[in-house]
């Protein structure tokens, strides 16, 4: 989105996040990934800026802004630190959104309050890949059920106080809210290729009681609810991909202008120029798609197809742009002295955390054929 | 390409070794970032450290095709082991085998080929990457010695090498005609290693900075004649491309293997992953492109063995194998879904390792220039 089309609230957010990103985030971005966590003071500042509750209604203590504003913030954040942007996106799109949309008055009161107090939530993306040899066990005992299961990939898992988890039973798929760090629930950091500071963890449940009051979505509509959460999250994820693409292009432009080989800056070589041009094309294409999808959502149109196309294009674009950026940097790009190899790992990880590219294409086709 | 019995038996032997002794530790090696010494010893015991070097010089007395097959099979389970092998054999061993005199061969080639010593090749400098002839490292004659000054960077196995072949210029005004190649032994005064690179992939392979400060080496350490350096490193890189092509091929095959295994064992929404048409489409594309890359790599090796020109074919093999290898590794992750980005599965390691194949020993852009020049005859 061009600066011209932004409303004043969005311009304000953009300016504020840009400033924070440049002065406080950029210098520590590679450290966040090395330490695999966002420092407490940075976390608190993000919280104070209202980013974790950006789309939460004001009545619950949030900023009450729309998803376009969220995209503006995510695009800025992810140019320095996609891990932190991911945490913000997950909390807004995969925690606040379903709570507001599906939560009972009690659940909203309890959990949205926690968020306004500075906590964040997690989300276990429902993977339809069934890993052989691991079964989700759900034992019923009256109105209580006991869950034993491991969720391999839980977004925000290591930093969250609670998480939404999908539970499949004979009746169908439900979504439950569970506390993390209580007996019977163990969160363990997992080694992911990228987004290493985003607190992605596995959650292990050992005979943990699930009560009906903590059920966010019931059996008959769990699949549908998960789909709507993923659809919405696609918008946020695509904005992160956009920021990564922008960052990869900026880094390449800078390096190609400074690096000399054969007596001149490598930016003067047509093969390098072609790569830069391709990156720019991907960037502009992605930006149009991302803000188009966000706009449809804000104006209450059916945004699902647009969001899927935006996410598919911008995530693949971010992966390809980061790979080209490494190529422009040559041997230096393969090292952690430059940020481009991190952009690649972040982009590829991001791409798999929503629907996989294969699934997205299948769903796009399905809608075309309706 | 149909392999003969000898090559097929050799392939089976290396495949077995890689599966049993390298694959189980590949993930840990990647995490630890160190190349295990016992593995170097095993490679030597199996005579994999100088496959194409004649037995009289300590090698296995086999050919380049055997060598390419070995790098492919090892790379299929562990890129770091593959690059160690490729760097030692093509970059450490080859220049001495190619340009060394008998005395030098006895002194250095023999222990390198037997795997008793580790070899390395110092060509790249902070400001001389693709433009390798822009070397700033200098060699000054001083009586019966040369005095070396300068810095080399991105040198595979640099810190752990016993014998290093380095390029240095005696007269920068002569361009590449002024470059010579020298042997520097570990522990020589004035030679030290700076920091090791913290890399995206190939993390168990050591990549070092070499620092020469008034490093004095005897005249007997000159390879070939003064001014032969450019010829020696071009010849070295031509052959090296076959091994990097083979490694790119091996890593791609490893990614395909992993995708096949995953899709056979796991289900997606109740259907075995391998039964999905989308999986089959990706597997078919990967397998076809990998097979085409294999033909190019084997062809380049066979041409070299036949004593025929192979520069064009080697550049094509490296360029193509690394390009389709990146694509295959990327698809392999997609087949795994979100599990593919965790280190529980090897595919995220494969793509990190594979990316170097588009950069090291001549970037894809340089390969295209080499290919175009050969095709255009200019």
Contact B352 A128 (CB under 8 A): no
> If 0-12 CB within 10 Å is exposed, 13-18 middle and 19+ buried, where does residue B360 land?
buried
Nearest CB to B355 within list A129, A326, A362: A326
- d(C-alpha A188, C-alpha A362), whole Å: 33
pLDDT digits (tens, 9 = 90+) for B46-92: 999 999 999 999 999 999 999 999 999 999 999 999 999 999 999 99
The pLDDT of residue B231 is 95
The pLDDT of B177-197, averaged and rounded, is 97
Contact A152 B344 (CB under 8 A): yes
Residue B261 contacts A, CB cutoff 8 Å: no
Nearest CB to B340 within list A190, A323, A352: A352
What does A260-293 look like in DSSP terms, one character per residue?
A: EETTEEGGGSHHHHHHHHHHHHHHHHHHHHHHHH
- d(C-alpha B119, C-alpha B112), whole Å: 6
Contact B130 A262 (CB under 8 A): yes
Tokens representing residue A116 in the block? 């306004």
What does A224-258 look like in DSSP terms, one character per residue?
A: HHHHHHHHHHHHHHHHHHHHHHHHHHHHHHHHHHH
Residue B267 contacts A, CB cutoff 8 Å: yes
pLDDT digits (tens, 9 = 90+) for B285-314: 999 999 999 999 999 999 999 999 999 999
The pLDDT of residue A128 is 67
State the pairing for strand pair A144-154/A137-141.
antiparallel
Tokens representing residue A41 in the block? 């003071």
**Region(s) of chain A under CATH 1.10.540.10:** 3-118
Contact B200 A330 (CB under 8 A): no
SS3 B258: helix
Q: Please check whether residue A309 is in contact with residue A289, taking contact to mean a CB–CB distance below 8 angstroms.
A: yes
Q: Chain B: give the shortest CA distance to residue A218, in Å.
A: 20
**Region(s) of chain B under CATH 1.20.140.10:** 231-376
**Region(s) of chain A under CATH 1.20.140.10:** 223-368
Best mutation target among B327, B342, B356, B364 (most A Cβ atoms within 10 Å) is: B342
**Region(s) of chain A under CATH 2.40.110.10:** 122-219
Best mutation target among A190, A356, A361 (most B Cβ atoms within 10 Å) is: A356
For B:297-356, CB contacts with A below 8 A are 326, 330, 333-334, 336-344, 348, 351-352, 355-356
Residue A83 contacts B, CB cutoff 8 Å: no
Measured between beta carbons, which residues in chain A are less than 8 angstroms from residue B357?
Answer: none
Please give the distance of CA A274 from its chain centroid, rounded to a whole number: 30
The pLDDT of B156-178, averaged and rounded, is 94
Architecture in CATH for domain A122-219: Beta Barrel (2.40)
Nearest CB to B355 within list A261, A262, A334: A334
For A:154-213, CB contacts with B below 8 A are 190-194
Check B73, B213, B361, B365 and give the catalytic one. Answer: B361
Is B197 tagged catalytic?
no
Which residues sit opposite A114 in a β-bridge?
A: none
For B:6-65, CB contacts with A below 8 A are 31
> Which listed CATH number (1.20.120.1630, 3.30.420.40, 1.10.540.10, 3.40.190.10) goes with B5-113?
1.10.540.10
Residue B129 contacts A, CB cutoff 8 Å: yes
- Give the chain B residue whose CA is nearest to the CA of A154: B338
Nearest CB to A330 within list B267, B273, B363: B363
What does A61-119 look like in DSSP terms, one character per residue?
A: TS----HHHHHHHHHHHHTT-HHHHHHHHIIIIIIIHHHHHH--HHHIIIIIHHHHTT-
Residue A135 contacts B, CB cutoff 8 Å: no
Measured between beta carbons, which residues in chain A are less than 8 angstroms from residue B209?
Answer: none
What does A310-334 look like in DSSP terms, one character per residue?
A: HHHHHHHHHHHHHHHHHHHHHHHHT
Q: Chain A: give the shortest CA distance to residue B278, in Å.
A: 7
Q: Please check whether residue A96 is in contact with residue A52, taking contact to mean a CB–CB distance below 8 angstroms.
A: no
Contact B344 A323 (CB under 8 A): no
Asked if the interface predicted TM-score (ipTM) of this complex is over 0.90, the answer is yes
pLDDT digits (tens, 9 = 90+) for B321-348: 999 999 999 999 999 998 999 999 999 9
CATH code of the domain made up of A3-118: 1.10.540.10
Identify the CATH homologous superfamily for domain A223-368. Answer: Butyryl-CoA Dehydrogenase, subunit A, domain 3 (1.20.140.10)
**Region(s) of chain B under CATH 1.10.540.10:** 5-113
Q: What b/e readout covers A39-78, taking b as 16+ CB neighbours within 10 angstroms?
A: eeebbeebbebbbbbbbbeeebebbbbbbbbbbbbbbbbb
Measured between beta carbons, which residues in chain A are less than 8 angstroms from residue B131?
Answer: 261-262
Measured between beta carbons, which residues in chain B are less than 8 angstroms from residue A353?
Answer: 338, 341
Rg (chain B; Cα; Å): 21
What does B72-112 look like in DSSP terms, one character per residue?
A: HHHHTT-HHHHHHHHIIIIIIIHHHHHH--HHHIIIIIHHH
Contact B200 A341 (CB under 8 A): yes
- Give the chain B residue whose CA is nearest to the CA of A168: B269
> Which listed CATH number (3.20.20.70, 1.10.580.10, 3.30.1300.10, 1.20.140.10) goes with B231-376?
1.20.140.10
- d(C-alpha B285, C-alpha B259), whole Å: 12
Give the pTM. Answer: 0.96
Best mutation target among A94, A130, A136, A201 (most B Cβ atoms within 10 Å) is: A130
pLDDT < 50 regions, chain A: none
The pLDDT of residue B266 is 92
- B249: enclosing H helix or E strand: helix B229-265
The pLDDT of residue A139 is 82
**Region(s) of chain B under CATH 2.40.110.10:** 119-228
A239 Rama sector, left if φ>0, alpha if ψ -120 to 50, beta otherwise? alpha
Residue A357 contacts B, CB cutoff 8 Å: yes
Contact A331 B342 (CB under 8 A): no
Listed in sequence order, the residues at least 6 apart from A261 whose beta carbon sits closer than 8 Å to its beta carbon are B128, B129, B130, B131, B134
- Give the chain B residue whose CA is nearest to the CA of A347: B341
Residue A353 contacts B, CB cutoff 8 Å: yes
Class of domain B119-228 (CATH, top level): mainly beta
Contact B359 A327 (CB under 8 A): yes
CB pairs under 8 A between A and B: 126
Measured between beta carbons, which residues in chain A are less than 8 angstroms from residue B344?
Answer: 152, 190
Best mutation target among A230, A323, A352 (most B Cβ atoms within 10 Å) is: A352
Contact B334 A358 (CB under 8 A): yes
Residue A129 contacts B, CB cutoff 8 Å: yes
């Amino acid at each position: 989105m061009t600066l011209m089309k932004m409303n004043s609230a969005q311009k304000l957010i953009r300016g504020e996040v840009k400033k924070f990103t440049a002065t406080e985030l950029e210098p520590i971005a590679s450290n966040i990934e090395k330490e695999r966590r966002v420092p407490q003071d940075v976390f608190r500042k993000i919280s104070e800026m209202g980013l974790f509750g950006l789309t939460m209604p004001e009545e619950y203590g949030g900023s009450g802004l729309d998803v376009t504003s969220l995209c503006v913030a995510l695009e800025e954040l992810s140019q320095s630190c996609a891990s932190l942007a991911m945490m913000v996106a997950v909390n807004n799109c995969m925690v606040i959104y379903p709570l507001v949309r599906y939560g009972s008055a009690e659940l909203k009161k309890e959990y949205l309050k926690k968020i306004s107090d500075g906590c964040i939530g997690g989300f276990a993306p429902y993977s339809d890949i069934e890993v052989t040899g691991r079964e989700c066990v759900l034992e019923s005992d009256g109105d209580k059920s006991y869950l034993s299961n491991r969720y391999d990939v839980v977004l925000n898992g290591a930093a969250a106080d609670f998480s939404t988890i999908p539970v499949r039973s004979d009746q169908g798929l439900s979504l439950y809210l569970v506390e993390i760090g209580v007996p019977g629930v163990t969160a363990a950091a997992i080694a992911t290729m990228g987004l290493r500071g985003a607190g992605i963890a596995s959650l292990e449940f050992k005979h943990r009681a699930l009560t009906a009051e903590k059920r966010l979505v019931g059996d008959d509509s769990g699949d549908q609810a998960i789909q709507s959460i993923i659809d919405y999250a696609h918008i946020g994820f695509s904005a992160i991909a956009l920021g990564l693409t922008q960052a990869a292009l900026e880094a390449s432009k800078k390096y190609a202008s400074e690096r000399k080989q054969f007596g001149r800056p490598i930016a003067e070589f047509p093969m390098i120029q072609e790569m830069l041009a391709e990156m720019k094309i991907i960037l502009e294409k992605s930006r149009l798609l991302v803000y188009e999808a966000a706009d449809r959502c804000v104006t209450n149109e059916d945004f699902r197809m647009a969001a899927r196309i935006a996410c598919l294009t911008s995530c693949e674009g971010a992966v390809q742009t980061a790979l080209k950026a490494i190529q422009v940097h040559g041997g230096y790009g393969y090292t952690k002295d430059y940020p481009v190899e991190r952009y690649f790992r972040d982009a590829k990880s991001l791409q798999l955390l929503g629907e996989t590219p294969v699934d997205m294409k299948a769903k796009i086709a399905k809608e075309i054929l309706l | 390409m149909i392999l003969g019995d000898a090559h097929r038996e050799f392939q089976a032997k290396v495949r077995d070794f890689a599966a049993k002794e390298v694959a189980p530790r590949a993930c840990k090696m990647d995490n630890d970032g160190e190349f295990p010494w016992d593995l170097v010893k095993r490679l030597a015991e199996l005579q994999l450290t100088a496959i194409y070097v004649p037995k009289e010089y300590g090698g296995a007395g086999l050919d380049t095709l055997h060598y390419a097959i070995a790098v492919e099979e090892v790379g299929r389970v562990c890129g770091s082991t593959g690059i160690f092998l490729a760097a030692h054999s093509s970059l450490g061993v080859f220049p001495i085998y190619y340009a060394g005199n008998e005395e030098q061969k006895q002194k250095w080639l023999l222990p390198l080929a037997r795997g008793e010593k580790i070899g390395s090749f110092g060509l790249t400098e902070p400001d001389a990457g693709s433009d390798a002839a822009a070397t700033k490292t200098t060699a000054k004659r001083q009586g019966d010695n040369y005095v070396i000054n300068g810095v080399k960077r991105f040198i595979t196995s640099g810190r752990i090498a016993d014998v290093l072949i380095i390029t240095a210029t005696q007269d920068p005004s002569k361009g590449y005609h002024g470059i010579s190649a020298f042997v520097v032994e570990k522990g020589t005064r004035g030679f030290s290693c700076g920091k090791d690179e913290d890399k995206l992939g190939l993390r168990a392979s050591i990549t070092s900075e070499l620092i020469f400060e008034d490093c004095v080496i005897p005249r007997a350490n000159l390879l070939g004649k003064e001014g032969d350096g450019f010829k020696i490193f071009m010849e070295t890189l031509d052959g090296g491309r076959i091994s990097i092509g083979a490694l790119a091929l091996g890593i791609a095959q490893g990614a395909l293997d992993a995708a096949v295994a995953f899709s056979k064992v796991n289900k997606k929404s109740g259907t075995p992953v391998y039964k999905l048409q989308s999986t089959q489409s990706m597997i078919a594309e990967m397998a076809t492109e990998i097979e085409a890359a294999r033909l190019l790599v084997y062809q380049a090796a066979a041409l070299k063995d036949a004593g025929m020109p192979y520069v064009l074919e080697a550049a094509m093999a490296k360029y193509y194998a690394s390009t389709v290898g990146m694509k295959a590794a990327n698809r392999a992750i997609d087949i795994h879904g979100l599990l593919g980005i965790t280190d529980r599965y090897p595919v995220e390691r494969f793509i990190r390792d594979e990316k170097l194949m588009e950069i090291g020993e001549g970037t894809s852009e340089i390969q295209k220039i080499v290919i175009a020049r050969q095709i255009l005859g200019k």
